[in-house]
Homo-oligomer: A and B are copies of this chain.
Amino acid sequence: MKTPPTPSALTEIQGIEPPNILNQAVVNQYKVSRKKQLSSEEMVSKIVQGDTVTLSRAITLIESTHPNHLAKANEVIKGCLPYANASVRIGITGVPGVGKSTFIEAFGKHLTSIGKKVAVLAVDPSSTLSHGSILGDKTRMEELVKDENAYIRPSASGESLGGVARKTRESIILCEACGFDTIIVETVGVGQSETAVHSMVDFFLLLKISGAGDELQGIKRGIMEMADAIVINKADGDNIAKAKLAKTEFNRALHLFPAKKSGWTPMASTCSAYTKAGIEDVWNTISAYFELVKNNHYFEEKRQEQNQFWMMETINEHLKSSFYNHPEIVRLLEENKKAVQNNEISPFAAAMNLLQRYFKD
């Protein structure tokens, strides 16, 4: 019979089962909340059922720069296309200070109150996800953001207007497939973004306030010519008389432009996003426009034109980026720019040098 070993620091006594270092409650919680990877077919099917969570994830996919995401995004868009197009697309522009967010809030609430499903998108190349976007600050549209018949998505971030515009335009398709029948695309009234928005909407609304003195700017930059309606906001309190005067002036200015291909006569009106006065009239005007252009087939014609435009625009953008990102071209471009600067070579000969090198590959 063996004696038990003398107790020593070197002998191990039998211990207890170590406790699980994972907090199972947390693990379970995580497992539930983790996003399941959906296939593109699953995404399409959920989107057309009106699932806005999936809609948001699909738009994130569109906004991604990852090549795998691009391919998947294209599949989702393709799947959504047959369900898209059954909507009215309204562009809204106005310089900072005209009360764009409060207008969209009041206008959007009116639309949902009459049974519309409203998606609000934005084209704002200056914004990033972290700062800058008017729509990024969703608290400005407190009411609309809580409305279950409204969907608000801030502007995609991106370096180029072309990129941001593409993403917004593809997002329109997904929103429509998700059942939103009224798409509002807002943009800041600066730069080229208005032209981009104009080329993706059916109706273009220019938001103004009285006495801002930027009437000439609007004419000059061609914005007033694009407008199907001018709405003078903040027509409340002491401001009503001034707003009415501005309305008369804008109506006079609008008459100076040649007749529109749509057959529509643009007009100015006043409203107050604060008192809600005139908001309903804005929608009545827009409805009258859509009745006209659907009857005279301009609606369909314009959408076809816009599609062709975006196709060409995408091609031209890619051709340029392929050229200017070519490593050899980057180097040669600097060299040739310098030679042009020193009058050693004409701009055209320099261009031909670069093109010859590029097409050699």
> Which of A26-34, A104-112, A201-209, A309-317 is the interface stretch?
A309-317
Assess whether A349 is in contact with B319, with CB atoms less than 8 Å apart. no
Question: Provided the pairs A340-B311, A343-B84 are in contact, do residues A348 and B166 lie with their beta carbons within 8 angstroms?
Answer: yes
Within 8 A of B (CB), among A292-327: 304, 307-312, 314-316, 318-320, 322-323
Q: Given the known A-B contacts A84-B343, A256-B216, A315-B355, are A170 and B348 also in contact in the complex, defined by CB atoms under 8 Å? A: yes
CB-nearest residue of chain B to A81: B343
Contact B77 A347 (CB under 8 A): no
Closest to A221 in B: B222
Asked if A238 CB lies within 8 Å of chain B CBs, one says no
The minimal Cβ–Cβ distance linking A80 to chain B, given in whole angstroms, is: 9
Which residue of A81, A82, A311 has the most chain B CB atoms within 10 A of its CB atom?
A311
Does A129 reach chain B (CB closer than 8 Å)? no
Contact A347 B314 (CB under 8 A): yes
* Min CB–CB distance A333 → chain B (angstroms): 9
Q: Interface residue tally of chain A, by bracket?
A: 35 or more
Query: In this assembly, does A153 line the interface, its C-beta being within 8 Å of a C-beta of chain B?
Result: no
A259 contacts across to B, CB distance below 8 A: none
A19 CB to closest chain B CB (Å) equals 54
The residue on B at minimum CB distance from A341 is B304
Bound-state CA distance A349–B71 (Å) is 10
CA distance A72 to B82 in the complex (A): 55
> With the chains together, A351 CA to B307 CA distance in Å?
11
Is A354 located at the chain interface by the 8 A CB criterion?
yes
Asked if A345 is an interface residue, CB under 8 A from chain B, the answer is: yes
Interface residues of A in 255-312 (CB under 8 A from B): 256, 304, 307-312
Pairs across A and B, CB under 8 Å, 27 listed: A74-B346, A74-B348, A74-B349, A74-B352, A77-B348, A81-B343, A84-B343, A166-B348, A170-B346, A216-B219, A219-B220, A220-B220, A220-B222, A220-B225, A304-B341, A307-B347, A309-B347, A311-B337, A311-B340, A311-B350, A311-B351, A314-B347, A316-B316, A316-B320, A318-B355, A319-B319, A319-B355
Residues of A within 8 A of B (CB): 74, 77-78, 81-82, 84-85, 166, 169-170, 173, 216, 219-220, 222, 225, 256, 304, 307-312, 314-316, 318-320, 322-323, 336-337, 340-341, 343-352, 354-355, 359
